Structure 1
Amino acid sequence: MTGGTKRQKDMRKALRALLPRVPMHDAESILALALSGHLRHLPPSIALWQATTSHIRHELTDYDTLLEDGYDRDAARFFVVDEMNEVLRGWGCNKEVSGEPDA
């Protein structure tokens, strides 16, 4: 994870600051999401946070299963917020996901 464009370098630096203990395979997935076209217009820190929460929600919780079981998006997010915050703390993150809808 060296070299690249200025945005890629800024994103890696922001990732190390936000998630100092994130496993490499998760870091690579988060960076790929953060650098994707639909987040390109956002500042690195915001794109990275959105990519991080999306990765955790979809890959490390039962969020998608809850949706498949008929829960709406806000209810499913409510049920996984504690697990998401536990992952974030484990990765050394000082930010948390809010349990409030669309927060």
Structure 2
Amino acid sequence: MAATTGRTRAIARALTALLPMAPYADIEAIRAAAGARDMREMPASIAVWLATIAHVRHAHTDYDRLLAEGYDRDAARFFVVDEINRTLTRWRATRLLDGEESE
């Protein structure tokens, strides 16, 4: 249980460092995703970053609509980078998504 508690604390610290002004509902969704089984092998800061980008992409952009319209994943991701960064900026994120960055 100590490892789980340590991991939970590491995720909480990473969330606080990355997203100081994010809304509680968004933070909780990101926390859950970062704590998922498939993220456990990653450092907490990387798990939080990947969970943040995935959450913002699906919850705060037109990404899913673009996919439904027939865009492939890479094209849809390209078109929502600015929307993702606007959301991250509102949340005072300490890191933004680079359009050239691969996940």
Amino acid at match of 1:41: E
Moved over 3 A (4+): none
Q: How far apart are 1:96 and its partner, in Å?
A: 1.2
Amino acid at match of 1:15: L
Write out aligned runs for 1:11-90 (5 A): 11-90=11-90
Bigger relative contact order (CA 8 A; separation at least 6): 2
Which residue of structure 1 lines up, in the alignment, with residue 97 of structure 2? 97
CA contact (8 A) 1:74 1:101 kept: no
Aligned-partner Cα distance in 2 for 1:83–1:67: 16
Aligned-partner Cα distance in 2 for 1:101–1:46: 14
CA contact (8 A) 2:14 2:48 kept: yes
Aligned-partner Cα distance in 1 for 2:62–2:40: 28
Structure 2 unaligned segments of length 5 or more: list them.
Answer: none
Structure 1 unaligned segments of length 5 or more: list them.
Answer: none
RMSD: 1.3
Q: Structure 1 pair 17/38, CA: closer, same or farther in 2 (3 Å)?
A: same
Q: How many residues align?
A: 100
Aligned-partner Cα distance in 2 for 1:51–1:95: 13
State the TM-score, normalizing by the size of structure 2.
Answer: 0.92
